[in-house]
């Protein structure tokens, strides 16, 4: 289909400007013209009367790196209006890795990312991008993952990056940026990332700065003794200060422990902005998160990846030691491990949707021992999400979210983990929830501003050229939706529910969702 004419829609152009009614002609993957246009021969016409039209939504943080290779249609994301995802998040992905390290890292990340194709070349960012370009339904951009850089430089070991190892790591970052990475991402709750110190991250970020990329960070809560200021925001600010890099904070919002305290949450961020640091942030519109419980284990347990973990868990005395640590010493940043609901456990799918507490009771074990045994039995291939808080706290977090989104430095990342029968609902509902439920309920800012947060802002931040706006000459990534009815339907209890109110999704000028139905099209590009 060469030409598409969209008539009479109300256009939200991604810049935050007031909407306007117009027609749009798409040809050869791009927006050819905008205005009062006549129907032409050999043109597919979409009647946009009464509907809103915007740039395709850009998901700034998702964990689809493996899932989209195994399921290129990527329906759960397309149906939300997402036309671009930024991969490599939390420093947990697959390139640049040698074949040996790819196998090791794939196994280690299987509870978070699932199982990617086995015999695939991930030796460079260029190779990584080639597996997605014109082979999947949406556009993908990539942050080179700090974990992969560490793995290639010093192995799956708690070793410092110094001397030749540091030079190897810096060269890998440079090559990755030259091959199209939009930045470097790290997750300081995860390994091997958390074996680093602040100086290592400063040195790597100097390379990212040279290449005009972005440092994307999930803040440190592990090995905080190695970090400037005890980790968290202080460390991230110091990295930006000393390297000069642009910094982007992943899923930065209030939680049940900080609900209603936005000023305190943003204090150090705002100090950094006043200092002149280039800072942006993202969030998802839910009160709890999702990840893999392998990360609960102490630092030493992760050495050598899954073989090392299995070795410890197979030793009775060491397993008891780890179980005791989980039961008595370890707490997640937002709550105890007893608030875990298993979302993904392919060896025991009947346990998906069940709580770790309930499983432990059935097994007549402590929660820590039950988790240790499950990790051993499944080779650590387990994902989870945390139970939502009480209604009052949830409502306050919602208010906090809309207030944070009203800031011009914010955008949206689903943090989607689309695995198992009980994934976190954000995998199916994030963007309709933002533009539907939150926009209509709270009306904290204009819809045009909300659209800017999920289109223009991320396109500008990550230099996604000629995307994120409705302009002549721009790529035709477009969503057509009913602004009065669009809504998320996914819940914690029933998460795999598609949203309502999204009528058309167009990716690079090809229709991917037509009248709410999925079309077969691998029109996504590896960008920028």
326 and 366 in a single domain? The answer is yes
Give the mean pLDDT of 101-120: 97
Residue 36: count other Cβ atoms within 10 Å of its Cβ: 9
The yes-or-no verdict on residue 333 having pLDDT over 80 is no
Q: Is the pLDDT of residue 261 over 70?
A: yes
Structural domain that includes position 370 = 291-386
C-alpha 367/C-alpha 327 separation (Å) is 7
Overall size of the chain counted in residues: 528
Q: In the structure, what pLDDT confidence band is assigned to residue 264 with cuts at 50, 70 and 90? A: very high
> Is residue 165 included in any domain, yes or no?
yes
Give the C-alpha separation, 99 to 40, whole Å: 52
Q: Is 353 left (phi over 0), alpha (psi -120 to 50) or beta?
A: left
CA distances (Å), origin 465, targets 285, 450, 474, 481: 27, 21, 8, 24
| Spatial distance between the Cα atoms of 85 and 131, rounded to a whole number of angstroms | 15
Q: Are residues 223 and 344 in the same domain?
A: no
Q: What is the pLDDT of residue 443?
A: 84
Residue 350 pLDDT > 80, yes or no? Answer: yes
pLDDT given at position 523: 95
Residues 140 and 244 both lie in one domain:
yes
Asked if the structure places residue 403 within a domain, the reply is no
Model confidence band, residue 444 (pLDDT cutoffs 50, 70, 90): confident
What does the pLDDT average to over 308-334?
90
Is the domain of 219 the same as that of 281?
Answer: yes
Is pLDDT of 332 > 70? no
H/E element, 396: helix 391-405
- 324's enclosing H/E stretch is helix 316-328
Q: What is the pLDDT of residue 428?
A: 98
In a shared domain, residues 297 and 285: no
Domain end position, chosen among 334, 354, 386? 386
Confidence bin at 74 (pLDDT 50/70/90): very high
Count of the separate structural domains present in the chain: 2
Q: What is the pLDDT of residue 468?
A: 98
What is the C-alpha separation between 148 and 93, in angstroms, rounded? 7
Q: At 337, is the pLDDT very low, low, confident or very high (cuts 50, 70, 90)?
A: confident
Residue 230 sits in the same domain as residue 359: no
Order of strands, sheet of 340-344, starting from the edge strand that comes earlier in the sequence: 290-291, 383-386, 340-344
Same domain, 316 and 416: no
Vertex 515 angle, CA 509 and 516, to 5°: 100
Burial label for 325, CB within 10 Å (0-12, 13-18, 19+), is middle
- pLDDT tens, residue by residue, 31-61: 999 999 988 888 999 999 999 999 999 999 9
Q: Does residue 1 carry a pLDDT above 60?
A: no
| 184 and 65 both lie in a single domain | yes
Kindly state whether residue 274 falls inside one of the protein's structural domains: yes
- Return the structure tokens found at 419: 């695995």
Average pLDDT over the chain, rounded to whole? Answer: 96
Out of 386, 417, 434, pick the residue that ends a domain: 386
Looking at the fold, whether 251 and 151 belong to one and the same domain comes out as yes
Q: Is residue 468 part of a domain?
A: no
> What CATH number does residue 447 fall under?
3.20.20.140
Say which residue the tokens 């060896």 belong to.
347
Give backbone dihedrals phi and psi of 480, rounded to 5 degrees, phi first. -120, 120
CA distance 168 to 354: 44
Last residue of a domain, one of 328, 352, 386: 386
Asked if 163 and 66 sit in the same domain, the reply is yes
CA–CA distances in Å: residue 252 to residues 93, 112, 198, 217, 258: 21, 20, 20, 10, 12
pLDDT given at position 425: 98
* Residue pLDDT, tens place only, 388-428: 999 999 999 999 999 999 999 999 999 999 999 999 999 99
3-state secondary structure of 170: helix
CA distance 396 to 383: 27
In this structure, the dihedral spanned by the alpha carbons of residues 157, 161, 165 and 166, taken in order and rounded to 10 degrees, is: 150
- Whole-model pTM above 0.85? yes
Question: Of all residues in the chain, what percent carry a pLDDT higher than 90?
Answer: 94
* SS3 category, 257: coil
pLDDT at residue 334, as a whole number = 59
Closest CA to 173 of 117, 103, 243, 100: 243
Alpha helices in 30-162 (DSSP H): 67-70, 75-78, 99-108, 110-113, 125-130, 146-154
Q: Is residue 125 part of a domain?
A: yes
Q: What is the pLDDT of residue 338?
A: 79
pLDDT of 493 reads 96
- Are residue 220 and residue 151 in the same domain, yes or no? yes
Q: Would the pLDDT of 212 be above 90?
A: yes
pLDDT (tens digit per residue) in 356-387: 999 999 999 999 999 999 999 999 999 999 99
Query: Residue 402: inside a domain, yes or no?
Result: no
Residues 384, 291 contacting (CB under 8 angstroms): yes
Give the integer Cα–Cα distance in Å for 472 and 460: 17
Taking residues 473-488, what's their average pLDDT?
97
Shared domain for 142 and 191, answered yes or no, is: yes
């Amino acid at each position: 289909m060469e030409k598409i004419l969209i008539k009479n829609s109300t256009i939200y152009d991604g810049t935050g400007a007031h909407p306007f009614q117009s027609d749009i002609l798409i040809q050869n993957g791009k927006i050819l013209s905008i205005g009062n246009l006549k129907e032409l021969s050999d043109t597919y016409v979409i009647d946009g009367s009464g509907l809103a039209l915007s740039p395709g939504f850009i998901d700034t943080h998702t964990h689809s790196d493996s899932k989209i290779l195994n399921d290129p249609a990527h329906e759960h994301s397309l149906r939300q209006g997402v036309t671009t995802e930024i991969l490599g998040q939390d420093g947990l992905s697959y390139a640049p890795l040698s074949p040996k390290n790819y196998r090791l890292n794939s196994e280690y990340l299987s509870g978070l990312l699932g199982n990617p194709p086995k015999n695939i070349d991930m030796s460079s960012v260029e190779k990584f991008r080639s597996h997605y370009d014109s082979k999947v339904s949406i556009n993908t951009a990539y942050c080179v993952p700090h974990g992969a850089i560490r793995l290639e430089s010093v192995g799956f070991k708690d070793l410092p990056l110094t001397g030749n190892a540091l030079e190897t790591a810096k060269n890998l970052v440079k090559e990755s940026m030259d091959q199209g990475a939009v930045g470097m991402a790290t997750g300081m709750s995860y390994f091997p990332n958390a074996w680093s110190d602040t100086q290592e991250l400063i040195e790597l970020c100097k390379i990212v700065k040279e290449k005009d990329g972005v440092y994307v960070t999930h803040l440190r809560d592990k090995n905080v003794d190695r970090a400037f200021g005890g980790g968290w925001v202080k460390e991230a600010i110091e990295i930006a200060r000393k390297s000069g890099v642009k910094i982007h904070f992943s899923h930065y919002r209030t939680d049940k422990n900080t609900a209603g305290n936005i000023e305190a949450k943003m204090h150090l961020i705002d100090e950094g902005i006043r200092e002149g640091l280039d800072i942006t942030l993202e969030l998802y519109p839910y009160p709890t998160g999702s990840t893999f419980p392998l990360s609960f284990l102490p630092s030493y347990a992760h050495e050598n990846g899954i073989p090392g973990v299995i070795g410890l868990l197979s030793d009775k005395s060491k397993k008891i030691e780890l179980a005791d640590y989980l039961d008595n010493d370890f707490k997640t940043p937002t709550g105890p491990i007893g608030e875990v609901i298993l979302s993904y456990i392919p060896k025991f799918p009947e346990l998906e949707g069940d709580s770790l507490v309930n499983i432990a009771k059935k097994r007549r074990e402590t929660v820590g021992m039950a988790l240790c045994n499950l990790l051993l039995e499944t080779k650590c291939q387990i994902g989870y999400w945390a139970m939502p808080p009480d209604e009052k706290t949830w409502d306050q977090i919602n208010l906090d979210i809309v207030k944070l989104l009203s800031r011009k430095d914010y955008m949206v990342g689903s943090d989607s983990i689309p695995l198992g029968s009980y994934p976190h609902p954000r995998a199916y509902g994030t963007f309709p929830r933002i533009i539907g439920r939150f926009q209509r309920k709270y009306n904290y800012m204009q819809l045009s501003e909300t659209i800017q947060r999920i289109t223009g802002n991320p396109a500008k931040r990550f230099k996604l050229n000629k995307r994120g706006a409705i302009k002549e000459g721009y790529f035709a990534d477009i969503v057509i939706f009913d602004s009065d009815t669009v809504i998320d339907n996914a819940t914690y209890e029933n998460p795999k529910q598609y949203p309502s109110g999204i009528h058309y999704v167009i990716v690079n000028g090809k229709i991917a969702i037509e009248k709410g139905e999925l079309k077969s099209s691998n029109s996504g590009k590896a960008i920028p």
